[in-house]
A and B are shown apart, each in its own frame.
Chain A
Amino acid sequence: MTHLPVEDLEACALGELGATRLAEVEAHVAACADCARELAWLRAERTLLSRRPSPPTAHLWAGVATRLQHPRRRPRWAWRMAVASGVGAAAAAAVLVAMLRPKPLPLAPPAQSPIARSERGKRPPIDPKTLAALDRAEADYRNAAQTLEGEYARLRPSIDPELARRWDETLTRARAQLGESRAVAADDVNVRMRVLDGYAGYLRSLRDVLESEEASP
């Protein structure tokens, strides 16, 4: 015997079927032990779940109304973080565009002097606009990091010492990785981009610390 789709049995258990389909399902169930058992389970689950009491909610409206009238302000550091992230993303996009822009083809191959040949393998200088975008993004990230570090310093005395030690280790690790990238960045666009990634990671670590500590009672 072909069994009914479980969705039909479920709809039957939940009282969702129209009269015609309900009659068809009931007729099948009367003759099919497997479907009858499945329907009994579905009804039992429904009964078990629905007979639990619902907690009252009327008292919650006052809090909703208050928050609608006086929305919570985002902390200052959250705005800083949002701005820095936006600038970082914009800088990354600008750099990508600059790197992908086709260069004009030379009309004739340039004659290479011995000096030029000896400099083969050196990186080409960064386009000034790309460099400016990278500098701007890095400065914004740095400012955001300073703001967040200030917030962390303010919160730190109230944090459990063991937890604070772990946060310190996390942040120190993130700072060390950032420092390593920064030390080799020079004028290499790819490394400069990695520095921005490092800043973004460091900011995320700081944000996690601040959000978790502000959320804790």
Chain B
Amino acid sequence: MIFDRESPGVRRFLGDLLRDDAAADEGTQETFVRAHHRLGTLEQASRLQGWLFGIARMVFLEQIRRKRRDAPLPEPEEDRFQLQADRGASPEAVLLSAESDRMLDGALADLSDERRSALLMRIDHGLGYGEIAAAMGWSLQKVKNEIHRARLQLRSRLAGYLEGGAR
């Protein structure tokens, strides 16, 4: 059954975007209700996961639009980490640090919603660049750029936490 197979990934994705368990549960249900109604628009069964993530992303955007109705959306964070992305801490140190899972949570939260979506689709859920482009409504080049920037930002944050923690 599609729900049994795909719902853990969709719920995990929405949980990472919304950072609110109740909202992620509700968003997961809404994603599958919409998917049921739109199943006829799925062109290839092999693209099911990307298609579902595209729906989940729309559900997410609607939820945050409602939440942020009174506050203007913040400008996307500038790439202020880009030049200092790889500043010494090793990936092995990041992996071995007892704090790394908690740090990862904070580092992901610092990414813009769009950048976080693209990075998670690729690294956490294994979607291909073409599927991500379709789900996000972006060009292939933009997907590559955003994932690259997200990665630099994430590494910078993780390295920064480690260096701060070592002092």
Interface residues of A (CB under 8 A from B): 6-7, 10, 14, 16, 37, 40-41, 43-52, 54-58, 60-61, 63-64, 67-68, 208, 211-212, 215
Q: Which of B1-46 contact A (CB under 8 A)?
A: 3-4, 7-8, 10-12, 15, 21, 24-25, 28-29, 32-33, 36
Do residues A60 and B11 form an inter-chain contact, with CB atoms below 8 A?
yes
Known: A55-B12, A60-B7, A64-B33. A45 touches B123 (CB 8 A): yes
Contact among A37, A46, A67, A212 with B123 in the assembled complex (CB-CB below 8 Å): A46
How far is B3's CA from A67's CA once the two chains are assembled, in angstroms?
14
How far is B11's CA from A45's CA once the two chains are assembled, in angstroms?
20
Q: Is B126 part of the contact surface with A, judged by Cβ < 8 Å?
A: yes
Known: A45-B123, A48-B100, A49-B124. A55 touches B36 (CB 8 A): no
Shortest CB-to-CB span from A83 to chain B, Å, is 22
Do residues B129 and A60 form an inter-chain contact, with CB atoms below 8 A?
no
Q: Which residue of A lies closest to B69 (CB)?
A: A212
Do residues A47 and B29 form an inter-chain contact, with CB atoms below 8 A?
no
Contact among A37, A51, A215 with B66 in the assembled complex (CB-CB below 8 Å): A215
Q: Which residues of B contact A57 (CB under 8 A)?
A: 3, 7-8, 10-11, 28
Q: Is B91 part of the contact surface with A, judged by Cβ < 8 Å?
A: yes
Do residues B91 and A41 form an inter-chain contact, with CB atoms below 8 A?
yes
Q: Is B95 part of the contact surface with A, judged by Cβ < 8 Å?
A: yes
Do residues A10 and B91 form an inter-chain contact, with CB atoms below 8 A?
no
Q: Which residue of A lies closest to B32 (CB)?
A: A64
Do residues A52 and B126 form an inter-chain contact, with CB atoms below 8 A?
no
Q: Is B120 part of the contact surface with A, judged by Cβ < 8 Å?
A: yes
Contact among B8, B11, B12, B94 with A48 in the assembled complex (CB-CB below 8 Å): B94
Interface residues on B, range: 35 or more
Do residues A211 and B66 form an inter-chain contact, with CB atoms below 8 A?
yes
Nearest 10 Cβ contacts at the A-B interface: A44-B91, A57-B7, A49-B124, A40-B91, A41-B91, A63-B29, A64-B32, A57-B11, A54-B8, A44-B95
Q: Which residue of B lies closest to A53 (CB)?
A: B12
How far is B161's CA from A28's CA once the two chains are assembled, in angstroms?
31
Q: Which residue of B lies closest to A39 (CB)?
A: B91
Q: Which residues of A contact B3 (CB under 8 A)?
A: 57, 61, 64
Stretch from B48-56, B72-80, B131-139, B147-155 forming part of the interface with A: B147-155
Do residues B104 and A48 form an inter-chain contact, with CB atoms below 8 A?
yes
Shortest CB-to-CB span from A72 to chain B, Å, is 9
Shortest CB-to-CB span from B121 to chain A, Å, is 11
Q: Which residue of A lies closest to B36 (CB)?
A: A68
Q: Which residues of A contact B29 (CB under 8 A)?
A: 60, 63-64, 67
Q: Which residues of A contact B15 (CB under 8 A)?
A: 55
How far is B98's CA from A202's CA once the two chains are assembled, in angstroms?
54
Q: Is B101 part of the contact surface with A, judged by Cβ < 8 Å?
A: yes
